[in-house]
Structure 1
């Protein structure tokens, strides 16, 4: 009988974005420090609580824009897991920044999760880790099907309008900004540059990159604009996310 796959207990949170489209909220704080209205908690607080509920005991938070604001909050907050912060002193790109943060993980010989700092989601990371392990992947990315921000018009083959559908799900899957990585993946990252243009395409060609579709009904939202904040607050009230 094979031993059960040990789920990751460490994670990197990429929290260095400027969030220019969220101004004026981000004039005095980094994007992950923006509060979801009505919760009293910034985006990163929700993320860390979710990671802890999924068995993560140690997180490395990669800071950039207004890093001291985020570091001050982390030092004073009652956190459910151990948090270390790192700050990029020079731009390294997405892949380089991920590699730099991963160097501070407490158990480099073990797999790890990563998440973008502007994502608010809830689904089973353990199920995603099992999916990753079953496929023998070096990297697995969560895949979301976001809602199209416009209403669409459905027609028949003769051009007759049949229906108007408000904000339907996209027919395409997108990178949801949540990942499971093998221990070896860290060594595949570039010291500088974008891993989504280098490492990921290479792994895809070698069939070592997997995509985990978010389970039906799972909550996922990227917080990019003020409208996203408003919608997230509405969803919080209706779904109890």
Structure 2
């Protein structure tokens, strides 16, 4: 497949990793998996917003990898009018992030086509089509979205003499981080481990051969990982604003 073919054939399938315990979000996750936690004021769980976003970006088929309290998520999917086709797979034993991704990818409807993947606790909006084009232009096997988060603590600016010049509340990080959203070529699935973490095995292997790309989220894009109760509160405040 040429780069031009990638541009004319939008990516229409995705995997959502939704099996985490969400222990830092308790008590919200005592009776539901992390992606089923609702952002206050929206009445819709995180995964509901994700599925809407994926559908808006041209995705028609999603495989959701479940684990912790999988039946709660499956019941919600069955009772909700979804904007795309969603199927679930359940890990009967922990496979690790890479193994879970590979297990879910086996259920994608079109094994010979590229696919998106996202962590089930990511709250974001940006153009996946632009990310897909970036991935194709670089001939990558895998592309990860890169975000520049605000640091959770304030910073102090000083001059060379040690005088304090300013206090900066929650400044942007000087580093980019993995935003938990990916584009994978069809060949990527076979490179994943059956068990274990692809970020320690597959990604370094691809980076050494220049087949791993990093797509910086466009300026002004909204991105937040929902890890703690504070993240829920912040997301609700940002939405209201």
Q: TM-score, normalised by structure 1?
A: 0.97
Deviation readout 1:190-229 (Å, 9 max, x if unpaired): 1111110000000000000000000000000000000000
**Number of the residue aligned with 1:12:** 15
Q: Is the 8 A contact 1:5 1:133 kept in 2?
A: no
The corresponding residue for 1:47 is 50
Q: Contact 1:14 / 1:62 at 8 angstroms: preserved in 2?
A: yes
Aligned to 1:56: 59
* 1:95 aligned onto 2:98: yes
| Counterpart mapping for 1:24-43 below 5 A | 24-43=27-46
1:145 equivalent to 2:148? Answer: yes
Q: Deviations over 1:15-73 (max 9, x none)?
A: 00010000000000000000000000000000000000000000000000000000000
Alignment length (residue pairs): 237
Offset at 1:6?
1.5
Cα displacement (A) at 1:5: 3.7
Return the match for 1:236 from 209, 234, 239.
239
> Separation in 2 of the partners of 1:114 and 1:19?
19
Q: Partners in 2 of 1:110 and 1:216 — Cα distance?
A: 29
Show CA shifts across 1:66-123 (max 9, x none). 0000000011011000000000001111100000000000001100000000000000
| Whole-angstrom CA distance in 2 between matches of 1:22 and 1:93 | 20
1:223 is matched with 226
Q: Which runs of 5+ in 1 are unaligned?
A: none
The one of 210, 221, 224 equivalent to 2:213 is: 210
Give the RMSD, CA atoms, in angstroms: 0.7
5+ residue gaps, structure 2:
none
Whole-Å separation in 1 of the counterparts to 2:79 and 2:20? 22
SS at structure 2 position matched to 1:187: helix
Which residue pairs with 2:78 in the alignment?
75
SS in 2 for 1:85: strand
Show the counterpart of 2:87: 84
Q: Secondary structure at the match of 2:195?
A: coil
Partners of 2:45 and 2:235 in 1: CA distance? 12
Asked whether 1:193 is paired with 2:196, we answer yes
